[in-house]
Structure 1
Amino acid sequence: MDKAASAGHSDRCRIVVDTCCDFSPEVAANLDVDILGFPFIIDGEERTDDIWSSITPKEFYDRMRAGARVSTSA
């Protein structure tokens, strides 16, 4: 038995990306990749990118065109 296995560690590795990678949920599932929501702020409201589940791309960009201030912690 190798040291990792004897220490209770799995040989399995997980790939984790954030939503900036633009994987659809279907692609992520097929690749067995975990997606973390990328946080952003729009007009002072902190939100998490949930791959367009809570706001559509059109709504998001319409708000930006209307002058909404959008930022990230970066």
Structure 2
Amino acid sequence: MYAGDYIEAVARLVRRSRLRRIVEFEAHKVISARYDLGPSAAQILSEPTLACRAVDTTVVPVSSARATELADALR
């Protein structure tokens, strides 16, 4: 990845429990900067290139959970 490259990022909620959310992220480079051709030149890639993949687990505080989830948590 270089300055001037263009990426597209996607996030997908994979799993949701009472107080946790599991999210998968992917970023693909779709346009590459071509400084060798000029300061503002770019090339659209024929196939997007995977730049990054990640999985995140977020914990939601009980006080921020929705009413139905909060009721389940207190049972």
Q: Same fold (TM over 0.5)?
A: no
- Compare the two structures and name the one with the higher helix fraction: 1
Q: TM-score with structure 1 length normalisation?
A: 0.22
Q: Normalization by structure 2: what TM-score?
A: 0.22
Q: Which has the larger radius of gyration?
A: 2
More strand by share: 2
